[in-house]
Amino acid sequence: MTTLTSPRALSLTQQPVTRPQVTDLRTLLAEAGEDGLLRNHRRLLAVSHHTTAGFPDRVLRRRLGDDRARLDTYLEALAGLFPPEAGYHHDRLQLRDELSSEQKETEPLNADAHLSFIGGGFTNCAEFAAGPGGPLEERPLWFVDFDGVYRDRDNTEIRRTRRTTFVGYNGEERVASAELEVPVPRGRVALDLASDLVSTDPSGGPTIPAGALLQPILEAISTHGVTHGRIQLHLHPEERGAGLTVNEFEALLMTRDLVELFESPLRWAAARQAGNALLSALRALRISRERRERLRDRVLARPTPRILRLRRDLRLPLLPDGPPGAPARPVQGRYQSPILVQWDPAPAGVRRVRATLWRFR
């Protein structure tokens, strides 16, 4: 008989060998001798610390089933819609003032990977049922790395080290929630919910970091003694023309490439390739032949951001900040930011977001 234990977290690393690469993380856990994490807890939260590597979200996993061939077909379709080195602004390193000359020599040209992650239905963390006899004994735990291998300016192959944190737990309870009104400056397509400056005064006036809007939820972590858990941000059901993601808030990616993506989602794919890529993606998602051909023709006639699989929620995992029992803090990779994106203007310049704090048991 297996005894279920208290929440536990561990981190493992890997180095991919292909671009893109799909890994069943159950294998990574088994090789590290940590597959007991799946047996000793009813739930598992898997967390990527990266902006171009993560997990198919729940809807995408359900659409793909457990079929690796379908996932590969879907990734090939995304590569057709977002081909590598297709003239993206993010890849014009001479314009990236935040990079030193030395960094520009090794910086990957990976705008395609960012756009595939944002527009393809991928997330920085995913939840799974676990425990004795649970689905993960039979079903894969896919981790998709869009650009773990690349070549620098000297054509030297670089293999990146990817880190995943696993949190085993047995259940969760909601301990606090708040309805947020997030001001979105006029003309903005993307807003960093952690550090962008916004004004809560409709007529302008003093600005505050957008992250300050989350302060009641952050304070509730200590108030309620949360040591393991998550913060979930979810767009209000009536919000349209917007999405949420965790990614890199790089200026050219957010103010140029994302704008162009929303204006013309098929702009980087050749006309014939776009049609084939759309058909492949719809086939991988198990859309019937008659319907997918109809959808392809409609999209090619009038491509809109609706064809993208932009998410309406995001999750920020919480782990202890210090010795056992210490209050938790949000876990984010070096370049990860919670981001609100929109392709239609926000009514009255405000987006409504519900923030919820969950405690793991």
pLDDT, tens only, 316-355: 999 998 777 778 999 999 999 999 999 999 988 999 999 9
- Residue 346 resides in a domain: yes
pLDDT (0 to 100) of residue 2: 53
pTM, 2 dp: 0.94
Final residue of a domain: which of 152, 169, 186?
169
Q: Which of 171, 163, 236 is nearest to 5 (CA)?
A: 171
Cα–Cα distance, 352 to 240 (Å, whole number): 10
The CATH code of the domain that includes 27 is 2.60.120.460
More confident residue, 42 or 201: 42
pLDDT (0 to 100) of residue 271: 67
Residues 197 and 154 occupy one common structural domain: no
Confidence label for 1 from pLDDT (cuts 50, 70 and 90): very low
Please return the burial class of 211, using the count of CB atoms within 10 Å of its CB with bins 0-12, 13-18 and 19+.
Answer: middle
Say what percent of the chain tops pLDDT 90. 80
- Domain count of the fold of the chain: 2
pLDDT, tens only, 119-173: 999 999 999 999 887 778 789 999 999 999 999 999 999 999 999 999 999 999 9
pLDDT, tens only, 214-245: 999 999 999 999 999 999 999 999 999 999 99
Residue numbers of the domain that contains 70 = 8-169
Cα–Cα distance, 237 to 194 (Å, whole number): 22
pLDDT (0 to 100) of residue 230: 97
The DSSP symbol for 271 reads H
Residues 43 and 188 occupy one common structural domain: no
Residues 180 and 66 occupy one common structural domain: no
